[in-house]
Amino acid sequence: MLFDWVIVCIAVERCVNIIKGISLKKPNSVWWAKRIIPLLTFIIICSLWHELFIHKLISDPRSTSEHTWCVIEFPWKWIKNYRLIINLINLIVPGVINLIATIFLLHKTTRRKQEFGKKKSDKSYWKTFRKQLPMYGSPFGLIILSVMRVIFSFTLVCITEQWHKYVYLIAYFISFTPFMATFPIFVLTAKIYKTEFKKFVARRIRKFKARWIY
């Protein structure tokens, strides 16, 4: 949940970078990041206060041995509606903002490439757009994963068939995909971060050889 909003912050920061260009001051960006991330964390924790009151442990009546299940029970109807609204906001809003920011970035970078293109083929908007499109495959991938999470959250409410278990298992692993894809999305796709990563790995290898081999 927090990860989705952090991705939104990164997308918005990229939009600000592309708008301001060289006039952007990096200290200002760092100043905002140090304040927005803790504020987001605090807001999300406060919005999930109801989770403390709706979970309950019950014994499984079908099991012969002692086995318990954690179930959700709403003491009041308004908590159920509140939980639904919060989940909708945290699932849909970050994906929508990320989609708008990605399309905006794609459009702006295409326009800039079009303006500074030396060849005639670079002057065509749609040809330049298609060349830029692979660079934004990762953000679009995150958006697709967000859409899949929303679909799984509202299509299968209860497990009534055997195949539902496998769908839930797939949905569970899909929810972790953005966390596992952080490195290839934000490091390998950016030239400056990729270069810094290679330098970091090279330094570590030299230190390892100096300490354990020589």
Q: What is the pLDDT of residue 93?
A: 85
Inform me whether the pLDDT recorded for 158 exceeds 70: no
pLDDT tens digits for 46-96? 888 888 878 777 777 776 667 777 777 778 888 888 888 888 888 788 888
% of the chain surpassing 90 pLDDT? 0
Q: Mean pLDDT, to the nearest integer, of 208-212?
A: 76
Inform me whether the pLDDT recorded for 120 exceeds 60: no
Inform me whether the pLDDT recorded for 161 exceeds 80: no
Q: Mean pLDDT, to the nearest integer, of 18-35?
A: 77
Label each residue of the chain as H, E or C: CHHHHHHHHHHHHHHHHHHHHHHCCHHHHHHHHHHHHHHHHHHHHHHCCCHHHHEEEEECCCCCCCCEEEEECCCCHHHHHHHHHHHHHHHHHHHHHHHHHHHHHHHHHHHHHHHHCCCCHHHCHHHHHHHHHHHHHHHHHHHHHHHHHHHHHHHCCCCCCHHHHHHHHHHHHHHHHHHHCHHHHHCCCCHHHHHHHHHHHHHHHHHHHHHHHC
Q: Mean pLDDT, to the nearest integer, of 198-211?
A: 83
pLDDT tens digits for 173-182? 776 776 676 6
pLDDT tens digits for 94-117? 888 888 888 888 888 777 777 766
Highest mean pLDDT, choosing among 120-134, 150-164, 170-184, 185-199: 185-199
Would you place residue 146 in the very low, low, confident or very high pLDDT band (cuts 50, 70, 90)?
confident
Mean pLDDT over the full length of the chain: 76
